[in-house]
Structure 1
Amino acid sequence: MFISRRSRRWPVAAVLPVLLTLGACSESAPAPSDVAQSPPELARFYDQKLQFGSCEGYATTAADEKAFAAKPGFQCARLEVPLDYANPDGPTGQIAMLRAPARGESQGPLLLNSGGPGGAGMVFAATTAENLAQSAVTEKFDLIGFDPRGVGASTPAVECFTTEQYLKGDTSTEFFLTAGDWTADDARRLTEQCGERSGGAQTLASVGSRDTARDMDVLRGALQQEKLNFLGQSYGTRIGALYAEQFPQNVRAMVLDGAVDPRAGNERRLGQYTGFQQTFDAMAAQCAAGPDCPLGTDPAGATERFQEIVRPLLDQPLQYGDGRQFTYQDAVNATIYALYDPEAWPAVPMGLAGIQAGDPSLFVELLQLGSGREADGRGSNMTSANYAITCMDEQRMNKERAADFRAQIYQAAPFADPGRDTDGTVDSCEVWPAAPKPAYPLPEHIEGLAPTLTVSFTRDPTTPYDGATRMAEMLKGSLLSVDGDGHTMAAAGANPCVNQAVADYLTTLKTPATDARCAT
């Protein structure tokens, strides 16, 4: 699974773009006659009339309240979809969505996904409308952010934990980077708890990304659109690619930002953790160049120094607040959250200095930001949704493979190695009540697509650049390379070079010139 489920970026102090030259390689989208007809058994879903109105009652977190619930101009609605597409007459779910109407004459809707798995799309649409307030994208398109099935305000939503468990930090679902043991009983208890709090096994079986991609096509039909416009970042590129695979003839435009490797299976995690280590090393070098760096003055020794600071937490967690514990795992997760954005890198040495002083408060704030939880334990369900979606998207491992893979993870990212035995672990999805619908690998090529645009930082810490190149190749589309460190840029509005390329593409289908690049 993706370690970070962030749907927001750290503030960017300054960006110095290098404008790229846009090519004139514009292609036409497939003719409307090529659009696939909806299956007759799904006609009632495709033909439903969406009722956009007040967003009252849609906010599920304090972030939602701040971003859209109390602001005028946004409209919300719900889309009915079958929980099981093989049984369209069975139970249904509701996909919650937010629309930010175009500022000018609309060319149609632009669907958005913030990433995750488990990231909420409604708040993402609201923040994107703000970030791109002066862009041709918001002038020409109605932004549509939807909470994928199982996520946020969509129902049924996945929830595995109580508020008390969130407060205690007892919410581990990822066995690779945990320092302790995972047993079959642990996996069973977690799965049963998820089912009990989410509406049963049918909910847990319904949240795979392939089904979310099908929801997107139902939404296209309900919006009365012949073609889909889509912008997805991070995990959102996975569902974008799955949509392109299943409905190539229904794509008008697709921007995939911070793209995942479409060809890699579970082994993609090795590339992810290798990227984390490379970014950790870059952060450590930046720290070493300044005064009083907790990681030392020699970047080559930063990993060892990090381990010296955080490994004592394995046996002696820090106490904070009203008796809560800050653990080794908390320190690693907070560090990984900060690695996503160079603007957040200074928080790592500051947080480590806090640990040395017995004060983990900065890292606690990082954890709250990264997980979407508030200080009182309330907030986003992205941790639970991430787990559930991953269980439905990925092939599962037996005990021997899990232990071996855990060892490979620590070899790829030694800063996160707890120095403990990697035996004694099982795949936390091993007793999930439904077989997976694997999202990987995707085909070598997808035929019949309109022009697409993949965007990637050249030193992305979690979705490595070489995966983005394979995504562009699979889609036979264009790749815009952004020289620098970071993860996702197209919806942030922080880089004029990227902004212009994305706006030109979405409005005219004009793709950047071959080998076009932007710089931070």
Structure 2
Amino acid sequence: MRKYVVAVLATVMVALLTWQGASAETAPSASPERVSWGECPDGTSLPGLECGTLEVPLDYRDPEGQKIALAISRMASPQPHKRRGVLLTNAGGPGEPGLNYPLVLKYYGVPQSVLDTYDVIGFDPRGVGHSAPVTCDLEGEATATANIPEYALDSADVAERAEYAAEVAEKCGSAATAPMLPHISTANTARDMDRIRAALGEPKISYLGISYGTYLGSVYTTLFPRRSAQIVLDSAMGPKGSGPSASRGFGEGVEDRFPDFAKYLSEHPEYGFGTSVEGIRAKYFEIAARLDAEPRPDGFDGKRFRKVTFEKLYLDQWLPELAEIWRAVETGQPLPQTSPSEAPARQPADNAVAGQLAVLCNDRDWPESVATYQRNVEVDRSRYPMFGAAAANIWPCAFWPTEPSEPPVRINSRGPSNVLIVQNLRDPSTPLSGARELRRAFGERARMITADQGGHLAYLFLKNRCLNDRTTNFLVTGELPRTDVACAAEPNPN
């Protein structure tokens, strides 16, 4: 009987230590499962990529209970004698699958030295893609990525949006996968990452995450600092992660980024908007107000105009397309065809939304009062007049059917100096202020490289050699810059 009690206590202690975070690194564990590599699931089979699965607990408080299968991919180093470990990757979102992301990095020119140094590992996070996908049984336009609410013209708009948000939350709570929803969180995904590390037989992992993936990486290296090697966080969320503050950050981000587009228009007078950056900003408000009062015959209204402008600010390559949209709206011509989505087909169709909402709503305890969002909208309409009244609008998280199962992980400075934050100065999605907050939270654990450029995503996606070379050097050698680095603007060949 005593042996049984000791065994039970040991199991409970392991579960508690794993649940509580960094102390889990000292917890004993059973022999880890190993990954058997083979063909990838339909839709992800591409040359150079092999895939496998790994069972992990649905609920880490009950590690011997229900299991779910994670889909994992590997792009093996072509130089095994040079290989020094694995590089886990995350494509952001939340709600984005990641099996193909190693190949995306290769397509965008990740240096061969990085590919030689690591087996690059992708995975579909829990609840997403081929990793026990969740659903909210949404149809039609509601299956598009949640991303951001629509612009609220007034408090009545917020109340109307609240009715829609409540319907979405109710559907999520009554769908077949609803029992999984409380366990789809950033902290649990970070715990999954440590299970992947163990299954690969690695004492530590390196990591490259973009956008939301920066919060996931921050949580991982906070929970498991001694199991972290090189951690690169590209286009960083603040230390509060994917909650209301991240959504409201879009308003600030548009204000930071829009001057780049206005400058582009001023340098291309053929679009017909003149050469005054200030005048082009004024034109934005003029067009939006006109479309609010009288939408186009095709239904394109002021809310859609603001959201399309926000979306196309993400990349410099999209600015010409945005300029064409503006010109069509201003002249009454048909809207140009936008770039086709390259997102993979999913089953269920609303998995992107369901997976995203599950993480967003579980990571933070969102305000539940509609009046709170009405006040926030008015505050941000004044602070960030271009887009603040959208960024502060209400989400389904206000009506989510479950409460967060644990407090948010608090990012801190305890651990080795092995975190590199890379950031554009003018990012519409994860503004510079959030990256600075994250840098302060990590303290001497981190360094930050900023580049005088605009758009979302810095490493590889924009060809700033100063930022790219230093980031690559850190990944390959582990040498963190001695101080923070400010990279000057460089011509972008794109």
Task: Please name the residue that 2:477 is paired with.
Answer: 508
Task: Please name the residue that 2:362 is paired with.
Answer: 392
Asked whether 1:478 is paired with 2:452, we answer no
Query: Paired residue for 2:239, among 262, 281, 284?
Result: 262
1:501 CA displacement: 1.7
Secondary structure class of the residue paired with 2:469: helix
Matches within 5 A, 1:343-382: 343-358=317-332, 361-362=335-336, 365=338, 369=341, 372=343, 381-382=351-352
Q: Contact conserved, 1:160 with 1:195, CA < 8 A, in 2? A: no
Secondary structure class of the residue paired with 1:391: helix
Over aligned residue pairs, what C-alpha RMSD do you find? 3.3
Whole-Å separation in 2 of the counterparts to 1:205 and 1:39: 26
Change (3 A) 1:266 1:502: same
Whole-Å separation in 2 of the counterparts to 1:200 and 1:462: 30
Asked whether 1:140 is paired with 2:117, we answer yes
Task: Please name the residue that 1:334 is paired with.
Answer: 308
Secondary structure class of the residue paired with 1:415: coil
Whole-Å separation in 1 of the counterparts to 2:422 and 2:385: 29
Deviations 1:396-451 (A, max 9, x none): 112221111122232233223789xx9xx7552122122125786734x3212242
Task: Please name the residue that 2:165 is paired with.
Answer: 187
1:510 maps to amino acid = E
1:280 maps to amino acid = F
Task: Please name the residue that 2:100 is paired with.
Answer: 123
2:179 maps to amino acid = Q
Stretch of structure 1 that moved more, 488-497 or 240-249: 488-497
Matches within 5 A, 1:85-124: 85-105=60-80, 106-124=83-101
Asked whether 1:274 is paired with 2:252, we answer yes
Q: Contact conserved, 1:129 with 1:143, CA < 8 A, in 2? A: no
TM-score normalized with structure 1 length:
0.78
Stretch of structure 1 that moved more, 175-184 or 74-83: 175-184
1:220 CA displacement: 0.9
Secondary structure class of the residue paired with 1:309: helix
Q: Contact conserved, 2:185 with 2:363, CA < 8 A, in 1? A: yes
Matches within 5 A, 1:284-433: 284-293=262-271, 295-314=273-292, 317-318=295-296, 326-358=300-332, 361-362=335-336, 365=338, 369=341, 372=343, 381-397=351-367, 398-416=369-387, 427-433=395-401
Change (3 A) 1:285 1:498: closer
Q: Contact conserved, 2:135 with 2:348, CA < 8 A, in 1? A: no
Q: Contact conserved, 1:402 with 1:426, CA < 8 A, in 2? A: yes
1:471 CA displacement: 2.3
Whole-Å separation in 2 of the counterparts to 1:386 and 1:109: 26
1:36 CA displacement: 2.1
Change (3 A) 1:372 1:277: farther
Q: Contact conserved, 2:234 with 2:458, CA < 8 A, in 1? A: yes
Q: Contact conserved, 1:55 with 1:74, CA < 8 A, in 2? A: yes
Asked whether 1:53 is paired with 2:20, we answer no
Change (3 A) 1:174 1:474: closer
Matches within 5 A, 1:7-46: 36-37=25-26, 40=29, 43=30
Change (3 A) 1:121 1:473: same
Change (3 A) 1:282 1:412: farther
TM-score normalized with structure 2 length:
0.81
Whole-Å separation in 2 of the counterparts to 1:220 and 1:293: 52
Q: Greater helix percent: which structure?
A: 2
Task: Please name the residue that 1:25 is paired with.
Answer: none
Matches within 5 A, 1:422-461: 427-436=395-404, 442-443=410-411, 445-461=412-428
Secondary structure class of the residue paired with 2:338: helix
1:326 CA displacement: 4.2
Deviations 1:29-59 (A, max 9, x none): xxxxx9925555xx4xx711212110142x3
1:458 maps to amino acid = L
Q: Contact conserved, 1:314 with 1:328, CA < 8 A, in 2? A: yes
Change (3 A) 1:173 1:236: closer
2:60 maps to amino acid = Y
Segments of 5+ residues of structure 1 without an aligned counterpart are 1-33, 60-67
1:288 CA displacement: 2.6
Change (3 A) 1:149 1:78: same
Segments of 5+ residues of structure 2 without an aligned counterpart are 1-22
Change (3 A) 1:87 1:258: same
Secondary structure class of the residue paired with 2:130: coil
